[in-house]
A and B are shown apart, each in its own frame.
Chain A
Amino acid sequence: MKSKNKKKKKNEVFYKVFGVTFGAVVLGLSVFTLAYPDSDYSSAEKRYLAQIPELNVDTLADGSFMAGLEDYEADQFPFRAAVMQMRAGLDETMGKAISQGVTRLDGDHLAEVFEEPSEQAISAVVNAVNAFSARYPDIDMYMLLAPNAISVYSDKVAGHVLTDDQNTYIDGIYRGVSGAVTTIDIREAFAANRGAVELYYGTDHHWTTDGAYLAFTYAAKPLGISASRKYVSGVVNNTFSGTLTSSSGFSVGKLDDVKVYLPAQELSYTVEWGDGLRASCYLTEALTGDDPYEVFFGGNHASMVIKCGAKTGRSLLMFKDSYANCFIPFLIGEYDSITVIDPRYYYEDLDMLVASSDFTDVLFLYNANTLSTDNALATVLNNEQ
């Protein structure tokens, strides 16, 4: 009898202590989350955070205030960045291999998985490129479709991770456009140098400047330009944490270095995008910001024009995604002018542009992941006005 009473007492104490703890934690967290100041923007996630939703009859009646409040509380939770890291850690312990389309290659490197697009998507791009080339038979056209880390380092990907083969995709695209453009295949070069050169960032989906330079040296011959210019390379930022870490939440052992290659002999040129004319394609303010990769041309623009007095007689039109940003600097000096278009943001009349310029060359520079989900290039090339 005495032991039974003692047992109930033990449980009684246990429950009372638990009750007090639980109450304290819930109350404490409620007060803490209320008192914690709201932030505008998260540099870890690279997005604006939800603010208190508007409260009026309409938002109450359709429930958008309630949903907005829940978003607000999640976004403004104290130490959200740390909480996200804990979540990612828990997930990986439980065996999660892919988060937001990103998987792990090793302790320092992440990579985006590849999903093969539909036949329709492939032929849309191929047909648009072929038609564009047929419209301008006098302009030499080239395409460089770069593989991504998931393909070049496919052996590092865990066996069970679901990802498609980029090689069949790249082969398919190249086969389709081979009559209209000169294809530049850097895959062998990358495979040969995958150990010696850090070709891709570990935390970001872009190739490194080293990788871009390697691609350039192999592309120069087919493009008919010189690769003999001497460059001096240096690290301009060593705390780069890119899109792969911010979207997946996976952690890496070390942050990435961003390198810049400057010509040994100074080159004089002008770059124009958006609002103004600049003397350099490097935006040094970006190095201290959220995304150091934006040191290259300040990120993506609908169109840019680079002019230099090289008197080569050649003028280049480029269609690109953000991979090209650290590749373009190597082209400066090889062409009198380089016009760069990012089709995702381009709303102008392409044929009018071509008619009013005198392009001698066109280069399509994309990475396989981006091109496989892109529908802007075809739209811009087809130019239905």
Chain B
Amino acid sequence: MVFSGLTFLFLFLPVTLILYYIVPFRFKNAVLMVMSLIFYAWGEPIYVLLMIYSIVMNYAVGLMMDRESDHKKSILVFGIVLNLFILGFFKYFGFLVDNLNSLFGLNIHAKKLALPVGISFYTFQALSYIIDVYRGKVKSQKNIVNFATYITMFPQLIAGPIVRYGDICKEFDKRFITLYSFGRGALRFVFGLAKKVLLANLLGEMFEEIAAYGSGVSTVTAWLGAICYTLQIYFDFSGYSDMAIGLGRMMGFTICENFNYPYVSKTVTEFWRRWHMSLSGWFKEYVYIPLGGNRVSALKHVRNILIVWLLTGLWHGAAWNFVVWGLYYAALLLLEKYVTSKFKLPGWLTYIFTIVLVIIGWVIFSADSLGAAGVTVASMFGFAANGFVDKVGVYYLLTGGILIVIGVFFSMPVVGTIQKKLKKSMAGCTFLYIFAMALFVCCVIYLVTGNYNPFLYFRF
């Protein structure tokens, strides 16, 4: 099930919220757990079994570490191995087999395995739990319903943010569910929904149409396509995070922020402090810092960065273009740390470089193959098959220009500032209220009439 769908909005959400609010506090977690399992099973009727197994296994591992603290380490290793095995098998088996086949000329016939939705997210959440229990940062959760609720909570189950157990465990026992928090959550949810349905989906449609031209594009067309995807993935993913945070708040939970206007970054380093913060935070906490982070020799530091970014790339998908994408950023980050930071460059210059590099990164990320990515990048920088501009480029410029400008506007921090200013006055509040409800109505109109509703991060 997706948040941006009629079944969720007008069937699942009202039923879940009503049940959740009606029952006394001690049953709320159970209600949330059951509804979340239904939510997950709706999209994965068979693979829900795997997630249930993951819950049981990680719950047991947590308890074991508490009871037999002498053997904590071996139990942790056991837990990590099982979690990574599940993730690795269902996500990377086909990729591994394909590469073995092409490397060694074998012909192993791998059955096409379906990638269970959200497996990267819930596995990483489970790993963060058992590692933190091992470190003593948190106590293991004795109540399996509470633990299951942590793993399955439908707001962040499918697409994050990746919630660390320590950040949320207290709220299982005590949280505030008020009309005020419901209203705040609802507003956040509506804005997230609008980002997804009105911006991401439409930008995505335009991107798909442009992508269909393949290599037969002009420079303008290639740039338009790349910009569309850059905006689409931001609004798709941050919109989904907004909805997750909003839904969490409606139920009294505080879910961490995941995006902080990443496209305003002046350096690539800054970009990764603003994009998908819960993932980069996870890798920092559980891979980078244990490896020594940057408090080691330069050589080891380089190694650490390469490892983390190789994994980050791989996490996004079982394909070589994701690995290249990850290593691309590793190279850029290392360049910034060891080379360009020595120079004093004006902010606007580094901003232009950063945003162009980020756009190129998305071209690599979104392409069907490394070759296709290369062709697109070449087209963007003067080697286009159809010259600088052609009829197709003009068409998309004129029919999609408004949408792109709106998209760029809403990706800037100025929208946050404007929102704050509006809330200061009665007139401003009224405007915001009407605007938000109008957005919601538009979203419903588009959901009823549109058939195009992809979710880019669904492969994770």
Contacts and interface: CB of A to CB of B under 8 A. Distances in A.
Interface of A: 7, 10-12, 14-23, 25-27, 29-30, 33, 60-63, 66, 69-70, 73-74, 77, 80, 83-84, 86-87, 90, 94-98, 160-162, 249
B391 interface: yes
A246 B105 CA distance: 54
A33 B445 contact: no
Contacts of A10: 423-424, 426, 429
A16 B11 CA distance: 23
Given A18-B433, A33-B10, A66-B1, A160 B394 contact: yes
Contacts of B437: 21-22, 25
Interface string B326-346: 000000000000000000000
A95 B10 contact: no
B144 interface: no
Contacts of B444: 29
A22 B7 contact: no
B183 A15 contact: yes
Contacts of A16: 179-180, 183
Contacts of B14: 26-27, 30
Contact of B449 (A84, A160, A161): A84
Contacts of B179: 15-16, 19-20
A269 B448 CA distance: 49
Contact of A26 (B10, B423, B424, B426): B10
Nearest to A15: B183
A371 B180 CA distance: 62
B398 A160 contact: yes
Contacts of B457: none
B7 to A, nearest CB: 5
B7 A66 contact: yes
A73 B9 CA distance: 11
B183 A19 contact: yes
Contacts, number: 125
Interface of B: 1, 5-7, 9-11, 13-14, 17, 42-43, 45-46, 179-180, 182-187, 190, 202, 391-392, 394-395, 397-403, 423-424, 426, 429, 432-433, 436-437, 440, 442, 444-450
A26 B448 contact: no
21 contacts: A7-B424, A10-B423, A10-B426, A10-B429, A12-B180, A14-B423, A14-B433, A15-B187, A19-B179, A22-B437, A23-B17, A23-B186, A26-B10, A27-B14, A69-B7, A74-B6, A74-B447, A80-B448, A83-B445, A84-B449, A90-B445
Contacts of A11: 423, 429
Given A30-B11, A74-B6, A21 B433 contact: yes
A7 B442 CA distance: 30
A71 B7 CA distance: 10
Given A63-B45, A66-B1, A74 B448 contact: yes
Contact of A73 (B7, B433, B442): B7
B440 A25 contact: yes
A83 B448 CA distance: 8
A25 B423 CA distance: 22
Contacts of B436: 18
Contacts of A17: 183, 433
Contacts of A162: 391-392, 395
